[in-house]
Structure 1
């Protein structure tokens, strides 16, 4: 991993990764086509859901999925967003209700939700112990037969290329740089991201994401009350493998 340039003279601020840094550096990559394909996939995931009640977008960000899913299709009028970052909620798209809360302490009554979904490894940004507690929290809030869908990346894909870095200029003129290292033993991808804004401000933050081999992920879900229903390697429902771009898991809360 390349170190950050110690000689930089721009005003620099170390910030929480999931705030302005994440929002400003991620939005330029979320094209209309990408969002629409992901929304269509999620709609299919819940089209046969028989359990009544709301479905929560865990870590909804600015609501690119929630706004569309709540407006049409099988989840119309049923989606609630949950997000901790105040800026993302402030700039969220219209058309769906949202609450500000922590994933590890959900503000929903026991057995009140029909489903939940989460995109881009949002469920796995904490410690292993917290991930167990988080999944148990989701299970607590779901009704029996309630559905959980989440997106992550195959463990094997990161293990095959543990070092990564990039530098690119964003449409607004910002310079985005990132350095990451995947520790295959611990299953953690640790990264530093730096965003140099056009006004000279430099936002720097660190994050870590936990990735599990599929067998370990299945055991984790089963130990917290879920049964895995499907695993896809992409938005077309293709079979997952270690080289898949995505790892998308659909699970249901077991009865009893």
Structure 2
């Protein structure tokens, strides 16, 4: 089973509260508040559109947001009010220089091989205009290295049980895990995943090599500095000229 399909949607959706979404949307609105030009901004891996629907409705990105999502179930459950394209991060269905910006949440950009991550960022550089802005959230490498093993079991609201275990290899920067979801109808969904977490210096090098330069780094939604205790690594980058 594909991890980023029904399993991911049904195991994460119950825990994405409206208050958490509102805080993330507020951050994104601030991050794009001074974005120049009239071009669209794409929500990379928009899922059911919890960010895109709000940003499209009001604020500095009102009327400018396009969703991109590969999973058919997520698209069928998406919130109304914003246009969406079904597509793959590795082959963006956008014309060269057509985007003013893009954003991605929850390590969406880094669920592939290192070579594919380079390709994805180059695809973004192709589709974005010069000076365009990229904002993404992931988890600091140091935080995972400090607690490399994780395992939990929790009940889902409305029934069902979620089990997950993972191990982070600091040498490779990969968090490898397996998630199992037992639904109330008796179905059992399970799949493995491997997500790449880069040290900040390596991430900066990756962005520089694909045409981007880091504009800011935050350790949380209030714009606080990144420290070894930060739960988030949020990066704002700009596509350079030339």
TM interval, shorter chain, is: over 0.9
Q: 1:201 aligns with which of 181, 187, 190?
A: 187
Q: Is the CA contact (8 Å cut-off) linking 1:43 and 1:69 kept in structure 2?
A: yes
- For residue 220 of structure 1, what is the aligned residue in structure 2? 206
After TM superposition, the runs of 4+ consecutive aligned structure 1 residues lying more than 2 A away are none
1:174 to 123, 136, 160: 160
Structural mapping, 1:63-212, within 5 Å: 63-212=49-198
> 1:200: how far off?
1.0
Number of positions where the alignment pairs a residue of Structure 1 with one of Structure 2: 242
- 1:51–1:146 Cα contact (<8 Å) kept: no
Structure (1 or 2) with the larger CA radius of gyration: 1
Q: Aligned residue for 1:3?
A: none
The alignment's TM-score, normalised by the length of structure 2, stands at: 0.99
Structure 1: gaps of 5 or more residues: 1-14
Structure showing greater relative contact order (alpha-carbon pairs closer than 8 Å, 6 or more residues apart): 1
Q: Distance in 1 between matches of 2:116 and 2:6?
A: 24
| Gaps in structure 2 of 5+ consecutive residues | none
**Partner-residue secondary structure (3-state), 1:230:** strand
Q: Distance in 1 between matches of 2:15 and 2:201?
A: 31
| 2:24 matches 1:43 | no
TM-score (norm 1): 0.94
Does structure 2 conserve the Cα–Cα contact (< 8 Å) formed by 1:194 and 1:205? yes
Quote how far apart the aligned CAs of 1:149 are.
0.1
Deviation at 1:47, TM superposition (A): 0.3
Contact 1:118 1:149 in 2 (8 A): yes
